[in-house]
Copies of this chain bind each other. A is one copy, B any other.
């Protein structure tokens, strides 16, 4: 269910459940009895708003998950830099989405390709009157707010954390050689403009929504978008020094702190309940609550399927278990189910996630063969699994395959071109890559003048 469609449904439900019983004609009869069976419009408003801000907080927590995952998978000499990038990108995403992004994505799209350029997104008069921050007709404001179904800022908050997720994906792929400030400039453009434009096509009610493209919580709109930006960035930026040998062999550059990477994955898993569960966009009826429970279940089982499948695939293909493959299997399982976590036969979600888990085990070495250096495996886990998840809606969830492909290709083409232009401009102007010597010393020393673990180890840090 797309965001825009479910928003219409939300209104319809509110109208039927709530305002129906508010009909005076009914109220005078025994049908008044039906009233207590339902959820009152104001209670629904509270519950819908609660779902947005609580689930939004869970998605915010994913920013910590990406920070830990990436901290664990880079080498010690680039660890402080990746921490800084992660907290900075989350901050920038929020500010840019407030300044410009939300309006570009959600207002006045109307079947088109972009929303409106307006600065700042604040509560309107209705909401200000409702909360008593503006003088006015309180009853009318309450009625108008209840028709909307939820607090506007709770919706803003929930959508904002999604933007940040897309940006988080990019930082992992490009770690260990991209300069901090140029990366953050890219984040400004991505979160303020690129993400909102393509987001408007589906969740803003644009052309893809009108075609019936189905992406419940963003396999394409969030995860592939981050993945495309990462892929284009990785190609323009080039691989880390010494990663690929001239003879075609590959030097492993193992992550410095695998328990942190494990923690990051668990954080993402927890946050994903907010990501997918909150994308029901309502909690104001029994049906909404039941849907969210189904979404939680599918989200969990798809991740579980991804882990088990990635472990089995590693064991069969490489004859060894591999922790990082299992972690990426979890993420791939989660990304895979994100486009359609509303399956009512949960076995399907295990299968969807398991296929995602196998795909990541195949895609990671494949990208290495293509000399695309993805430090944390984000392109495999977010882009490849995101494409798979979007197609899976057509296979398991009853979506239209052609429309799904159009959505994947349309969003992908836009992101490749647009992020290519932005990366290209940054590359040819201020430059995006640290010098060879800086890369050797590590970004922590050269960009930040500090060490992430000053007392540990005698290895790479001493070079």
Contacts and interface: CB of A to CB of B under 8 A. Distances in A.
A392 B299 CA distance: 38
A26 B40 CA distance: 18
A27 B30 contact: yes
A316 interface: no
Interface string A264-283: 01110110010001000001
A421 interface: no
A344 interface: yes
Interface string A213-251: 000000000000000000000000000000000000000
Contact of A38 (B42, B294, B455): B42
A41 interface: yes
Nearest to A82: B259
Copies of the chain in the assembly: 3
Nearest to A9: B132
A402 to B, nearest CB: 24
Interface string A148-184: 0001111011001000000000000000000010000
A293 interface: yes
Contact of A259 (B36, B71, B152): B71
Interface stretch (A345-353, A360-368, A377-385): A345-353
Interface string A6-50: 000000000001100111100110101111111111110111011
A95 interface: yes
Given A94-B304, A308-B91, A345-B122, A287 B131 contact: yes
21 contacts: A36-B36, A36-B38, A46-B289, A49-B286, A53-B296, A64-B270, A67-B259, A71-B259, A76-B455, A80-B323, A91-B330, A98-B346, A120-B345, A122-B345, A130-B286, A131-B344, A254-B454, A257-B452, A320-B449, A454-B459, A457-B457
Given A98-B301, A321-B447, 9 more contacts: A21-B36, A36-B41, A37-B142, A52-B293, A68-B263, A72-B259, A98-B297, A130-B286, A456-B457
